[in-house]
Structure 1
C-alpha cells in the first residue's frame, strides 16, 4: 500500500543545497581538491591502464562542489574526517568505493572531471559522477511538475557526453580511441536511486514512482550501449542498495505500521521491493546487452545483497547492532535522521566512531561500509567475476 508523504524538501536540495551555505561561508573549490597521492601505476599486476566511472553521490569525488554555487554540508567538516581529514566533496566520512578501486589499481586519486583541464589530468581515467545525479534527465522531471532546483542537470547522458570529450582528448585517431576503450575498466553506477529519491521527497507516492523504473533502466541501457559502440569491453554495473534500510527513509516513514517493516532487519519492505524491482530489470537489461554483444563483459554488481548482509548481521561485519539503522551524523530524532538539521549544522548529533556505523549521514554510507563494498566488487562475491580476476596485462 502506498504511503502518503509529508511535504518535505527535496532530498538532494536538503542535503546538498542547504540554505545555510552562503557564498560568504564557502571555501574555494580548490581547497576541496583530493590530495595527490603518489603511487606506481598498475601495482595490481598490470591491470587496466585506465578506469572511468559514472554515477551519483555514492561515486562523486568532487564534481558537485566544482560546479555548485552552494555545495552545502558536503563541503564542510565533519565530511572527510576519517581519511582525508577535511571535506573533499565526497558524501562520506572518508573514502568511497571508487577510491578503494583506484587504490587497488595502483593509480593516484582522481582529479574530478570538472576540475581537470589537460590530458595529463585524465592519464589514469576520470570520474564523471555528480552528487544528486539521475539516470533520467532533468527535463523529464520538470515535465512531470517536480521542483528541479535540487536535481543536477548533469544526468547520466550528460556524463557520457563528458566522457566522449575526454576520449577525444586522449586519442587523436579512431584506432587509438578504440584501443583505449578496449583496455579500460568502466563502472557505470550506482545510478538510479535519485530518480526515486527526488519524487519521494516531493510528496510523491510509490504508485507515482514505480512507472519510472523501466524508463530509468532504459536510460542506463542506452548509456551502456553508447560506451560499447565506442569500444568498451569491460563494464561493471551496480544495482541500487536497499533504500528501505536508509535512515532518512526510516525517519520519513516513521509512522508506518508494524507490518511495513521486515522483522529480520527493521527495513521498510515496500521500499526494498521497489529497489529489487529496479535491480531485477537492470539484470534483465544486462542479459539482453550480453546477447547482443558477445565480445563484451557486462558484470552486475550486487550492492543490494551486499549492504543488506551488513545490516542483517552488523556485529559480524564490525558494526554496532543497536545502531545499524542509525545515521552516524544527523539531525537527531528517529534513527538520528531528521534531515531538517544537517550533519554539519548546530544541533546535529555525531557518533564518536564512524567505523562502527553503517550509515554516515542517513543516506550515504561510512568509509567502513564502502571498504566492504569495494572488496565485494574487487575480490567477490558480489561481482562475478570480480575486477581483480579480470585483470589483463596491456
Structure 2
C-alpha cells in the first residue's frame, strides 16, 4: 500500500483551503470596533433608550426578555459582532453602564435615511417614523468621537469603556437603512413613480455622509446592506393590500420599488469606489438573501412565511393590537402574543425578522455569495 507523503497531504490541504473555500483561506481582518447606522433591522436598543422599553415578549428567544431589539432574539449585527470576536454593540443613547470600547450602535427603529415627514407618535399603524434619522445618527457619531476621546484621555474608571482613537480609522462601519423611506412614501400616498424619482437625491445624502466618515474620521471599511423585500412584510401587506402579488404572495409593486432603490444604491456604491480610492466598500444584497427564504421556506424549516409570529388578527397576523400590546377588541381586552415556535417563522412582529431568520441570513452573508465584492465580514477590509 502506498501512503501519501507529508508534503502531498499539505498540498492537498492548502488546495482545499484556497480553491474550494477561498473566503475561509484568507487572513481575517482585525477590526478594533464596529460602528453601525440604520433602522430596526440593526437597532440594539437606541429606540427603547429614547422612547421607552420594549413590549412584553421581545427578546424572549435569546435574551429571556426585552433587550431593546425589535425581534425575539439576536439581529444580524449581533451575529456579525460575535463572528468578529466583539461584544454586542451598545446603543449610543443607552447611558447606563455602557461599554463602547469595541464600538457603538447609532441605529434606531423606524429611522429613515432622509428627514422624515410622517413623524412619531401615531396611535395606529403605520405609527409614523423616527426623528432620529440617518443625519442625526451621524451627528451623534461626531459627538461620540469627541466626547469618548475626552473621557478616555482624562483617565479614571470610565476611560476603559471608551474606544481607542485608532478605532475610528480602523473600525468596520456598517449600514442598514432605507426601507422606511420607501414605506413613508407609500403611506403618504406618494405615487410610486415619484418615490423612484426621489431616490437619487436620497442616496446622494447617504453617500455624502459616508464620504464625511472617510474624509474627516479616516474610516476606510464600509459594509452596506441594500434594502430587503419590503413587499413581503406583514405590515405592508396589511396596510397596503393588493392583488398584484408574485408567486410567493409578496407585493410586486412594493418589491419593485425596493429593487429600484437597490439599483440606485449599487450605482452610488460603484461611484464611491472611484471617489474613495483607499476605501474597502462591500455592497451586500440583503434583498436576495431574505427573498430566498420566501421562495423556499420549507427548506429552512419555516411555516406561514408571510405571517408575523407575534401579532393578532388578519391574514398576516398583524393589526391592532400589535405584538405585546393590549387593546379592546369586540368589547374584550386582548393581548397580541407570539406564535408557539418563533423559529418556524420568518417575520417576528410584522416589521422585523425573527432570530431564526437573522441567523440563516448571517450564515449566507458569511459565505460572501451575496456581496460585491464576495467578502464575508471577516474579509471586508482593504487588501494591499
Q: TM-score range by the shorter chain?
A: 0.7 to 0.9
Q: Distance in 2 between matches of 1:297 and 1:392?
A: 5
Q: Which moved more, 1:146-155 or 1:307-316?
A: 146-155
- Cα shift at 1:209: 2.9
Given the alignment, which residue of 341, 347, 359 partners 1:353? Answer: 341
Q: Distance in 2 between matches of 1:84 and 1:244?
A: 29
Q: Distance in 1 between matches of 2:146 and 2:119?
A: 35
- Cα shift at 1:148: 5.5
Query: Normalized against structure 2, the TM-score is what?
Result: 0.79
The reply on whether 1:330 has 2:308 as its aligned counterpart is: no
Given the alignment, which residue of 31, 47, 53 partners 2:30? Answer: 47
Task: Give the corresponding residue for 1:83.
Answer: 62
Given the alignment, which residue of 206, 222, 226 partners 1:239? Answer: 226
Given the alignment, which residue of 172, 182, 185 partners 1:199? Answer: 185
- Cα shift at 1:109: 2.1
Q: Which moved more, 1:87-96 or 1:150-159?
A: 150-159
Given the alignment, which residue of 233, 237, 251 partners 1:250? Answer: 237
Equivalent pairs, count: 329
Query: Normalized against structure 1, the TM-score is what?
Result: 0.77
Q: Distance in 2 between matches of 1:227 and 1:377?
A: 24
CA contact under 8 A between 1:171 and 1:180: conserved in structure 2?
no
CA contact under 8 A between 1:328 and 1:350: conserved in structure 2?
yes
Secondary structure of 1:244's aligned partner: helix
Q: Distance in 2 between matches of 1:85 and 1:218?
A: 40
CA contact under 8 A between 1:122 and 1:166: conserved in structure 2?
no
Query: Structure 2 regions of 5+ residues with no counterpart?
Result: 1-26, 122-127, 153-162, 326-333
CA contact under 8 A between 1:379 and 1:389: conserved in structure 2?
no
Q: Distance in 2 between matches of 1:100 and 1:136?
A: 27
- 1:177-230 CA distances to partner (integer Å, 9 max, x unpaired)? 874333111102x11111122232344442453333222211211121111112
The reply on whether 1:99 has 2:78 as its aligned counterpart is: yes
- Cα shift at 1:171: 4.5
The reply on whether 1:152 has 2:133 as its aligned counterpart is: no
Q: CA RMSD in A?
A: 2.5
Secondary structure of 1:114's aligned partner: coil
- Structure 1 312/193 Cα, relative in aligned 2: closer, same or farther at 3 Å? same
- Structure 1 392/169 Cα, relative in aligned 2: closer, same or farther at 3 Å? farther
Task: Give the corresponding residue for 1:389.
Answer: 379
Query: Structure 1 regions of 5+ residues with no counterpart?
Result: 1-43
- Cα shift at 1:381: 1.6
Q: Distance in 2 between matches of 1:336 and 1:253?
A: 14
The reply on whether 1:298 has 2:281 as its aligned counterpart is: yes
Secondary structure of 2:60's aligned partner: coil
Q: Which moved more, 1:213-222 or 1:88-97?
A: 213-222
Task: Give the corresponding residue for 1:115.
Answer: 94
- 1:299-334 CA distances to partner (integer Å, 9 max, x unpaired)? 1011100001111011112212xx011111112111
Q: Distance in 1 between matches of 2:368 and 2:338?
A: 32
